[in-house]
Structures are given as structure tokens and as C-alpha cells.
Structure 1
């Protein structure tokens, strides 16, 4: 583990940057790390496996990562042009969001995606039922352009393969010597707290149950260790009853006001012989 942690180039609600030490303490060694829910990639960026298989159900995210991997210099140059003061205005943000939603060009969408991520509200990634990105303007004084973080990601991504597929398919690609880390959309703390519009289709309670069952089966039948992060609730403790559970308190924040950021109980469910 490096002394200095590396930040992802995307802002990400629920990102794992602040939990890196706790996660790496739980992760076994292996030849490859598989992440079926890679998100912003903080675990990928702060671990040192020989190879990575990084998956996400969001095609905009995976297309972006593949472009940064293969065309980083051009991408960084083009993306930087949007990080100007005249583009940090509400109407301009909604104009670019509209262009993003209308575009079918993968490269153009990738350039717009970083702009929307850094100028939108709190790093949220949310789509409506029609598949349109619908995060509101964030009202930041001067959004940061993550050039250094993009360069680091581009270099490290040479060790990674990026895929966009259901998590079940990613699990099926695991082989002996690999380790799986799952950071799925979290189970709701309450019935009214369900948020699953991160990608079109959502991640339901049935999906949570299915993930737990596949994780248990992957370890029991194939001896491949699996670590899962989630909220610590009666529901998650029930579905992870075959795993070794450890708990922690985490500051959770969707609110921009730091005073409204409260500690929430989370857990790790580890399916492993250790």
C-alpha cells in the first residue's frame, strides 16, 4: 500500500476514497482484482494487483475509461476547454447537458460527461427513465479540472480491462487466483431511501439478494474470495449471513452542507477462508 492515496478524476457520491485503508486491509492478495461495480475506481487506483477487470453497468462511464486508456492526451486537451469561467453558468450547464443527452458520439459524450460530473450537483450520476442525464447544476465557484488524476488513471489503466455488462457475467469471468470486490448501489437504510437510478434499470432489493447468493456460491464452489461493501441493516445482515461481517461508521453525504453529513453504519461482508 502506497503512503499517499490517489484520488479518482471523477467526483462520486459513495466513492471509496475515504475507506481505502479499511478495504485494503480486508482484500486478499491475488493475480487479478475484479470489480463488478467499479464506479469512480478508487479501489483500483489504490491497490497494486498485476491485472484488473473493471466493470460497470453505466456505458457512459466505461466508454469514458476506455477513451482515457487509449487516447488520454487528446481527451485531456479537449476536456480542458470546457473548464472555463464562461461554462460555469447555470444556463450553459443545461445547454451542455442537453447536448450530452442528444449525442450518440461516444467521444463527445465522454468529454461532456467529465464536465457534467464536475459542474453538476455533488458528483451525482443519475438518469431518468428515458435514459437522460438529469443531475442539476452544482453552483461551484471554480470546478477543478483533474489533469493530474487523469494522467495517473491513464497510466494505471494499461493494466486493466473495462467491460459494461451485468454483474453476474463479470463474476463468471473470475478464475483461480482472482479476488472480487463489490461496491454495489447500497441497500436503502429505510424503505423511503431507495435510490437506484444510477443507470437505467436500477438495482433492486432482488438484485441485492442475487449478488449475495452469487458471492457465496463463487467462494464455496470456486474458492474465489469476494468482499462486498454495503449499509449495515437487518436486511444486509440477513442476506450476508454466510459471510464474515465487520462493521464501521462512515460519514455519508449527499448534502453540500458539511454540517448535515452524518455518520452511517456500514459493513463489509467477506467470503473467504481467512
Structure 2
């Protein structure tokens, strides 16, 4: 099932790779400290889900879809008529979003900006302003069925805004953890770790592995995704098991930059 959001680095195409390595036997709850667009949550079957993300707009949107699906879908659909698919209107709505303090209004605009903005990016400037440019799509898709499905599945989920430490601090014995952190860059020009106005550093990557090791000591398995580069090769050398595979990346504006890159899944169990 697709996410209702376009999401750079989304896991829809590689859920099967994740599922083959993620321990599920005897595990009732899936914990995701970086839920992002939610593709893993939507496509794996557990009794419960604890879904955390640093992005407050994302978590607010997910809670509103969970709790007010009929009203939200009806209100959101109005933003997907042809009159609103214009550059000037997009930037007006982006300005309105950045000035708004109402969580419901921001959620409606967040979905609009996500589907009309460039390439599924979610990016904020240092002042916290959403700054993704207009995407120039002919007919932005309104994800009505995806929103309905998300709302149904979300009844088993708890959504919390916070750092990944927030998720690890609430682990239970019957949990399994899947981490999709901002990836280590392939090269200096491909660094997209600036997320929700913050930067996810090498030290944060190391800190995440530390939490995975602590969870392992409590017999709670953790699976982590990342680019396979020199830094992560060294970072995950202590993993119980790892898996390499190739995935198509489409961040680059130029077609020739949309190439297959190698990723790693590192399991701590």
C-alpha cells in the first residue's frame, strides 16, 4: 500500500527487503523512531505500532488522519482542483502554512504542499519555514484511498513527535524496532540530512547504533537502513547480521543523477 505522502527516501519499493530481515516472530509491536511517509508501517502486519518522528507537522497530520478522517479527506480534496495547481497559488499557500499556528490548517496545507511541491522533498530553513519549491506537475494526485487506508490502520498506532531517543525510551519486551534515519551522504553534494530544520550528523548515526546495542541487550531487535558507504561499513561492523541491495534514487533533478545506489540493512539482535 502506498503512503498518502510523496516522501524522498520512502521505503515502498524495498519493504520486501526489510521484511525478510526484520524479526517478527513473537513481536506484537513495531516501533519506528523515524516513521517518515509511513510505508513500512502500512505494509507490515503487527498488533500495535509506536511511530515517532521529529517533524511535528508530519505527526500532527497523521493524528488528524487517524482521528478525523472523513472531515479531513473532504476538506483536503478541495485543494486538489486545477485552480490550485499554479505556481503563484502554491507560494501563497506555502506562506500561509508558514504563518499558521493552527494544527488542522497546517495539516491540510502540508498535504497540499507535499503533493504539489518538488519531488517529495520535506525541507525547512533554519528559521523553521517550509521552503520546498513548486513541483510543476500537470495533475497532482489526491490520495483519497491511501488516506482512508492509513486511517484504518492507524487505529492500531500511536504517533509521537520526538527524537529517536523518545522511541527507544518506551520500548517493551515484545517490540521490534525499524530505523530509517536520514541517510549518510554518498558524497558531499548529495547530503540531504537536513531534516525538519535540524541536521543528522555522523555522531547521531553513532548514537543510534548505541541505542540499538542497548536494545539488543534487552533482547529487543533493531534493524537500521542506510546508504552503504565507507562510514556505514565501519559503523555497522558490529551488527549481528547485515544485507546489501541496490535501490533507485530519484532525488537528483537531472535524469542522469537518478542512478542505483547500494544500501545496507544492519540488524542488531
Same fold? TM cut 0.5: yes
In structure 1, what is the equivalent of residue 248 of structure 2? 251
Aligned partners of 1:216 and 1:242 also within 8 Å: no
Distance in 2 between the 1:45 and 1:214 partners? 25
Distance in 2 between the 1:214 and 1:239 partners? 13
Aligned partners of 2:184 and 2:193 also within 8 Å: no
Aligned partners of 2:35 and 2:180 also within 8 Å: yes
Task: Find 2:112's aligned residue among 108, 112, 115.
Answer: 115
- Do residues 76 (structure 1) and 73 (structure 2) align? yes
CA RMSD of aligned residues (A): 1.0
Aligned partners of 2:52 and 2:166 also within 8 Å: no
Question: Which secondary structure does the structure 2 equivalent of 1:82 belong to?
Answer: helix
In structure 2, what is the equivalent of residue 231 of structure 1? 227
Task: Find 2:7's aligned residue among 2, 12, 21.
Answer: 12
Question: Which secondary structure does the structure 2 equivalent of 1:81 belong to?
Answer: helix
Distance in 1 between the 2:195 and 2:149 partners? 26
Unpaired runs of 5+ in structure 1?
A: 1-5
**Greater CA drift, 23-32 or 101-110:** 23-32
In structure 2, what is the equivalent of residue 137 of structure 1? 134
Unpaired runs of 5+ in structure 2?
A: none
> Number of residue pairs matched?
266
Question: Which secondary structure does the structure 2 equivalent of 1:206 belong to?
Answer: helix
1:93-146 C-alpha deviation (Å, 9 max, x unpaired): 000000000000000000000000000001100000000000000000000000
**Greater CA drift, 243-252 or 184-193:** 184-193
TM-score by length of 2: 0.97
1:222-242 C-alpha deviation (Å, 9 max, x unpaired): 110000000001111111111
